[in-house]
Amino acid sequence: MRVTGSKAGLLLECQWWAGALAEWFDGTSDAADRGNRFHAAIAVYVETHELPASDLLDEDIAPLVEVARRWVDTHGGPQDFGAEMAFAWDPVNDVAKTLAEKGRDYSGAPEGWLCATTDLVRVDPAAKTGYVGDWKTGDGSKAAPQLRTLAVMVARTYGLETVHVEALEVSSVGVRVVCAEVLDAFALAAHAGALAEAIAAVPTAEPNPGRHCGDLYCPARATCPAATAIVAQVIPAEALVRHKWGITITSADHAAWLYDQAKAVEAAAKQVKDAVKAYVPAEGLTLEDGSTLIEGTRSMPRFNRERAVTLMRALGATDEQIESCTVVGIEGTGLKHVGGTKVAKPRKSKAA
Together in a domain, 100 and 243: no
Domain final residue, candidates 170, 204, 238: 204
Together in a domain, 96 and 245: no
Q: Rounded to a whole number, what is the distance in angstroms from the first to the last CA of the chain?
A: 74
As a whole number of angstroms, the distance between CA 203 and CA 16 comes to: 8
Domain final residue, candidates 178, 204, 230: 204
pLDDT at 312: 87
pLDDT at 339: 65
Together in a domain, 185 and 217: no
Domain final residue, candidates 182, 204, 226: 204
As a whole number of angstroms, the distance between CA 140 and CA 116 comes to: 17
Asked whether residue 153 is domain-assigned, the answer is yes
Q: How many distinct structural domains can be found in the chain? A: 2
219 near 24, Cβ under 8 Å?
yes
Asked whether residue 9 is domain-assigned, the answer is yes
As a whole number of angstroms, the distance between CA 321 and CA 336 comes to: 40
Asked whether residue 94 is domain-assigned, the answer is yes
pLDDT bucket at 309, cuts 50 / 70 / 90: confident
Q: Per residue in 187-207, pLDDT tens?
A: 999 999 999 999 999 999 999
Asked whether residue 337 is domain-assigned, the answer is no
Helices (H), ranges, 202-296: 212-215, 225-234, 237-242, 252-279
pLDDT bucket at 331, cuts 50 / 70 / 90: low
Asked whether residue 311 is domain-assigned, the answer is no
What mean pLDDT is predicted for residues 127-146?
96
Together in a domain, 224 and 199: no
Together in a domain, 58 and 151: yes
Asked whether residue 124 is domain-assigned, the answer is yes
Together in a domain, 198 and 263: no
pLDDT at 103: 73
Together in a domain, 217 and 127: no
Q: What single string gives the DSSP state of each residue in 117-176?
A: EEEEEEEETTTTEEEEEEEESS--TT-HHHHHHHHHHHHHHHT-SEEEEEEEEEETTEEE
pLDDT at 337: 62
Range(s) of the domain holding residue 267: 212-280
Residue type, 97: K
Residue type, 200: A
Sheet with strand 114-124: strands edge to edge: 95-98, 82-90, 114-124, 129-136, 162-171, 174-183
Cβ neighbours around 14 below 10 Å, total: 23
Together in a domain, 126 and 225: no
Asked whether residue 164 is domain-assigned, the answer is yes
Least confident of 138-147, 185-194, 217-226, 228-237: 228-237
CATH number of the domain within which 38 lies: 3.90.320
What mean pLDDT is predicted for residues 304-321?
86
